[in-house]
Amino acid sequence: MLDQQVLDLFKNKTVLITGGTGSLGKTITQTLLEYSDAKKIIILSRDELKQFEMSNVFSSLENGHKLRYFLGDVRDRDRLMMAFEGVDLVIHAAALKQVPAAEYNPFEFIKTNILGAQNIIECAIERDVEKVIALSTDKAANPINLYGATKFCSDKLFVAANQYSAYRKTRFSVVRYGNVIGSRGSVIPFFLKQRKSGILTLTHQDMTRFWITLQQATNFVLNCMCRMAGREIFIPKIPSMHISNLAKFMGKECEIKTIGIRPGEKLHEVMIPNELGRSSLDMKSYFIIKPSDNDFAQPDYWSEGKTCEEDFEYNSGTNPEWIDDEALILEAISSIKSEEALDFVEEMRLT
């Protein structure tokens, strides 16, 4: 799970999670409540209903009294300054994420994903937060849609923020991974709903995606927050999946239709573009993209890594590790824990 060094980081600390009512935010919250000795966990988000629903679930947990709910928007700098009072660690998970919505509402995404990121940076420095780790996406690597472009800018802001805080204690790093299994908008819940109609839709027969569960993503974020020195973009080594194989497994009695790639959609996920291969370190179980400038002391632990080849690219289509085994797919679906997912798992195990 999490080693003692990671748990020690959170001991007696106040942690703030932006976008904490989302799928990942809730998993991070539950993990910290169960395994760490954090003093307080603050959930900052815009939706009072989601906060109410989350509080109903988490209040029954043994350490549920450590939770605080703070209504606010990362666009609102003054509100962030209030929220960051006394905060030691920040996990920035708030973002607008829907690709089609970004194309029709571009400046709304800019205000949240870019201007909001800058607000996080400025408030963290002014409030002497120790560490900020921001969550990114594969779509920020060689972006082809506006959502990806805003997250690319956000990543750049967080990496560069370490220059502004050089003589202060605040450090900033980024975690980048692909679609999380079972998160809002991911393909498995989509297929579970489509099964009822007898038709599953694929956008392309050759499409691939990286494969990571909510708990794996949570553990990676918390581990990276422990080891980060600032400026790193962390990328987990995870397996890939052919979406067509997933569709065939989940829709064995369904018709599978290919409908064409949607605007802004990639055939394969890329988390390290080949232009950044020379700037990346292979750390055995994960990668680090180093900052483009070299005007800083490199952390000692980076020496444990090996520089990637000049044209290296971390791409879900050329990834050497794959999940095609039905037992592993079923295990991953069971991790979602929704009623539909658990019913599907039970159905598959009975057949």
Reported as a single tens digit per residue, the pLDDT across 152-164 is 999 999 999 999 8
Q: Go through the chain and tell me how many residues it has.
A: 351
Look at the pTM and tell me if it is higher than 0.85: yes
* Nearest of 4, 175, 172 to residue 89 by alpha carbon: 172
Known catalytic residues? 139
Q: What is the mean pLDDT of the chain?
A: 93
Task: Please tell me the distance from the alpha carbon of residue 22 to that of residue 19, in angstroms, as a whole number.
Answer: 6
Give the bridge partners for 287, in sequence order. Answer: 235, 282
Q: What is the largest CA-CA distance in the chain?
A: 62
Convert the pLDDT of each residue in 11-39 to its tens digit.
999 999 999 999 999 999 999 999 999 99
Task: Please state, in angstroms and rounded to a whole number, the distance separating the CA atoms of residues 97 and 146.
Answer: 10
Hey, what domains does the chain have and what are their CATH numbers?
4-180+211-238+270-320 (3.40.50.720)
Confidence of residue 295 (pLDDT cuts 50, 70, 90): low
Does the pLDDT at position 293 exceed 80?
Answer: no
Long-range contacts, stretch 290-294, CB < 8 angstroms, 24+ apart = 290/231, 290/232, 291/159, 291/231
Name the more confident of 113 and 263: 113
DSSP of 252-310: TTSEEEE--PPTT--SS-EEE-GGGGGGEEE-SSEEEEPPS---SPPPGGGGGSEEPPT
The percentage of the chain sitting over the pLDDT mark of 90, rounded to a whole number, equals 76
